[in-house]
A = this chain, B = another copy of it.
Amino acid sequence: MSSYFAEIPPVRFEGPESKNPLAFRWYDKDRVVLGRRMEDHLRFAVCYWHNFVWPGNDPFGGATFERPWFQGGDPLAMAKHKAREAFDFFSRLGVPYYCFHDRDVAPEGATPRESLALFQAMTDELAAQQARTGVKLLWGTANLFSHRRFMSGAASNPDPEIFAMAATQVKAAMDATLALGGENYVLWGGREGYETLLNTDVGREMDQLGRFLNMVVDYKHRIGFKGTILIEPKPREPSRHQYDFDVATVYGFLMRYGLESEVKVNIEANHATLSGHSFEHEIAMAQALGIFGSIDMNRGDPLLGWDTDQFPNNIADTAIAMYHILQGGGFTTGGLNFDAKVRRQSIDAADLFHAHIGGMDVSARALLIAERMIQDGAMKAELDTRYAGWGSELGMGILGGTLKLEDLSARVLTQNRDVAPVSGRQEFLENLANRYC
């Protein structure tokens, strides 16, 4: 079988001194880090859409990529061609997982039944490819944002018939995810938001969304899907406002609709920065709120106001994110997906490899730095010292609820002296963190 990637040999670990741009310098999948193989820690996934579906267009320009599977012809045959090439890529790269939307892998048909049949045919093809290569499914999802019927939302659409269309796709995508052994199911609501409040009733639309998510969770249990349901927050784009703005907003939404123990979040670095947060903030917040699930490890450009979906390349930034993930116990069903795309000028087959190798190496290097941070323990010790006062009688009395506002006031007025602040030592800590790089 000829392959688009035939000239790229399987990517191997060659160590930091290698000058081979098509080798890993840091990602050594069997190396044990804090008691776990690197591969099992990082749980890398490659996404189908950016690599095999996106033609390189942007709002001001057309396709730049000339992949053989874009050439036209019978849509199902092209979809199968694409699937073979995709799994060939996953295999040569050596990642354990991939992710997909229903419409990435199968064309849309002329009617709902045709669309379903095409998707089911491709589900069988994916199963065969998984079996052939050993690559597994990290998560499946449904594309409820590209077709014009969803232009005003899917579950939050003003028309319940479109809600039903969305439900149909999600049911099928969940069925496929279950059939393919997927470990999670993701919902990203790119059109679940609004363009203008002039035509929008936000309370009503959030109720629709809450109902939809309850249906999904209910169905999951009914079919025996053991994976995790994940919401992927994003503040905007394509919508002007998206209801799943950030981790804290999703948490409030889950509480409102009684789903906080059923659903977790898939946090994307680029979405974090678009919402005004650092990636590590969103990770730490999700862990604090008990809803950390999985990550999309793709950076934005802080000087650009849209989703650039670039591969991570900053070692220090990635290390801090990895440190927070490890501090929270690492991944369970989740993993590290690259929801990232090569620049539209990176038109060669090799560019797809450079991008993923770079992203995997940066992540692996970040893991090793985080390992040193944890083994050394100095960063955690600083934090423990800083909050030590909360283990005192006063601290426990406050948090335990035995002390009232007026008790504290009485105490202060009795002591009748000020309390001296202590240094936050931020620069010391920044230097300390750099020491592990």
Contacts and interface: CB of A to CB of B under 8 A. Distances in A.
A164 B408 contact: yes
B160 A418 contact: no
A113 B413 contact: yes
Interface in A238-256: 238, 240-241, 245-246, 248-249, 251-253, 255-256
A235 B276 contact: yes
A407 to B, nearest CB: 8
A201 interface: yes
Contacts of A342: 426-427
A417 B96 CA distance: 38
B437 A199 contact: no
A302 B435 CA distance: 23
A161 B394 contact: yes
A142 B27 CA distance: 47
A416 interface: yes
Given A204-B390, A249-B252, A428 B145 contact: no
A384 B59 CA distance: 30
A419 B255 contact: no
B168 A408 contact: yes
A283 B287 CA distance: 29
Given A151-B64, A197-B324, A424-B345, A431 B354 contact: yes
Contacts of A214: 401
A285 interface: yes
Interface in A189-205: 190-191, 195-204
How many copies altogether?
4
Interface string A410-432: 01110111111111111111111
Interface in A248-291: 248-249, 251-253, 255-256, 273-278, 280-281, 284-285, 287-289
Nearest to A437: B315
A425 to B, nearest CB: 6
Contacts of A206: 288
A60 B145 contact: yes
A196 B344 CA distance: 12
A344 B214 CA distance: 30
Contacts of A161: 389, 394, 419
A412 B168 contact: yes
Nearest to A18: B435
Given A207-B399, A276-B235, A303-B273, A199 B162 contact: no
Given A168-B408, A204-B390, A302 B305 contact: no
A87 interface: no
Contacts of A274: 305
Contacts of A236: 276, 303-304
A347 interface: yes
Interface stretch (A2-10, A177-185, A215-223): A215-223
Contacts of A168: 408-409, 412-413
A158 interface: yes
B427 A358 contact: yes
Residue among A190, A198, A315 with most chain B CB within 10 A: A198
A421 B197 contact: no
Contacts of A253: 248, 252
A398 interface: yes
B423 A351 contact: yes
Given A196-B426, A235-B276, A343-B424, 12 more contacts: A56-B151, A59-B238, A61-B146, A113-B416, A161-B419, A171-B405, A196-B424, A199-B386, A199-B426, A202-B284, A211-B401, A240-B304
Which 6 A-B pairs give the minimum distances between C-beta atoms?
A305-B305, A252-B252, A345-B424, A203-B288, A302-B302, A167-B408
5 contacts: A116-B413, A167-B412, A198-B430, A316-B316, A348-B423
